[in-house]
Amino acid sequence: MTKIAVIVGSTREGSFNRALGNLAIKALESHGATVADVDLATFDLPLYSAAIEANAFPADAERLKALFAAQDGLLFVSPEYNGSLPPLLKNAIDWASRPTGGESLVALTAYRGKATAVMSASISPFGGLRGLMHLRQILSTIQTLVIPEQVLVPNAHAAFDADGNLTEALPATLIDMTAARLVAVARALAA
Ligand SMILES: Cc1cc2nc3c(=O)[nH]c(=O)nc-3n(C[C@H](O)[C@H](O)[C@H](O)COP(=O)(O)O)c2cc1C
């Protein structure tokens, strides 16, 4: 079974990215993945600080890192904040990038060699495109292979019906294409 974690970069009640993440989870499962739904609200992660790290590596940072390390692929579904990704998500990515247990500085055991993909829902007409460009760059820096497919849901406040489904066919189709490719690439890289 191909294992994929879905990480949603918003913990807001009524989050559009959570709605998008839920659809992505169903699509990934339909393509044969076993999905770990990562709710960042359930991880107690302080803002990264070298002093905190040196004193005692936070238990939840280690838990998040271990969860990522156990996957074949990672899907990030994130809002755009001021043209980039929210600090909630960057902080989580940063903690899980840190070496633990005598690893080398660049071990990147949570990330190296994994397939990743990105999606964003935004209330703007641009669908969070700028945030995803930054996220792609970060995911490459930490040695993951970011697939070219991606999903943008613009005007997110009007994009979902009461059941959390997308009203437009195009983004719904892109979720399926992106999920299929992520599972295929993650499986191939893990083989
Ligand atoms: C600090 C902050 C900055 C934001 N900057 C952007 C932005 O640059 N581009 C954008 O499309 N939306 C921006 N937004 C609006 C978000 O798209 C909107 O709040 C969205 O609902 C957040 O995603 P969520 O529903 O998953 O929480 C910003 C929101 C906040 C709180």
Q: Say which CATH number the domain at 139 has.
A: 3.40.50.360
- Domain count for the chain: 1
pLDDT digits (tens, 9 = 90+) for 56-104: 999 999 999 999 999 999 999 999 999 999 999 999 999 999 999 999 9
Strand stretches in the chain, DSSP E: 2-8, 33-39, 73-77, 115-121, 145-153
The confidence score (pLDDT) of residue 71 equals 98
What residue type is assigned to position 32 of the chain?
G
The confidence score (pLDDT) of residue 77 equals 98
Q: What's the 94 CA to ligand 1 centre distance in angstroms? A: 21
Confirm or reject: Cβ of 123 under 6 Å from ligand 1: yes
Task: Please give the torsion angle defined by the CA atoms of residues 139, 174, 24 and 110, in that order, rounded to the nearest 10 degrees.
Answer: -20
Atom of ligand 1 nearest to the CA of 19: 26
Range of the structural domain that residue 145 is part of: 2-190
Atom of ligand 1 nearest to the CA of 127: 11
The confidence score (pLDDT) of residue 177 equals 98
pLDDT under 50: residue ranges of the chain: none
What's the mean pLDDT when you consider all of the chain? 97
Residue nearest to atom 20 of ligand 1 (CA): 122
